[in-house]
Amino acid sequence: MNPRAFLVGLYESAVAAADPRRIVPAHLPPPPAGRTVVVGAGKAAAAMAAAVEAHWPGPLSGLVVTRYGHGLPLACIALVEAGHPMPDAAGRDAARRILGLVAGLSADDLVLCLLSGGGSALLVEPASGLALEDKQAVTRALLACGAPIAAINTVRKHLSAIKGGRLAAAAYPAPTVTLVVSDVPGDDPATIASGPTAADPTTTAEARAVLEAFRIALPPAVARHLATAAAESPKPDDPRLARAAARIVACARDSLAAAAAVVTQAGLVPEILGDALEGEARELGRIHAARAAAARPGTVLLSGGETTVTLDPGQGSGGRNSEYLLALAVALDGSPGIHAIAADTDGIDGTGPAAGAVIGPATLAAARAAGLDGQAMLAAHDSGRFFATLGDAVTTGPTRTNVNDFRAILVT
The answer to whether residues 83 and 57 touch, using CB atoms and an 8 Å cutoff, is no
Give the model's pLDDT for residue 350: 78
Domain boundaries, the chain: 3-13+252-411, 19-250
Per-residue confidence (pLDDT) for residue 15, from 0 to 100: 98
Give the C-alpha separation, 27 to 180, whole Å: 10
What pLDDT score does 148 carry? 87
| Domain 3-13+252-411 architecture | 3-Layer(aba) Sandwich (3.40)
Query: Residue 112: its pLDDT value, please?
Result: 98
Q: Is 211 exposed, middle or buried (0-12, 13-18, 19+ CB in 10 A)?
A: buried
pLDDT of residue 314: 54
- Please report the pLDDT score of residue 315 as a whole number: 64
Q: Which fold has domain 19-250?
A: Rossmann fold (3.40.50)
Contacts of 70-75 with C-beta under 8 Å, sequence gap 24+, read 70/43, 70/45, 70/46, 70/398, 70/400, 71/46, 72/46, 72/47, 72/400, 74/46, 74/49, 74/50
Which residues of the chain fall short of a pLDDT of 50? none
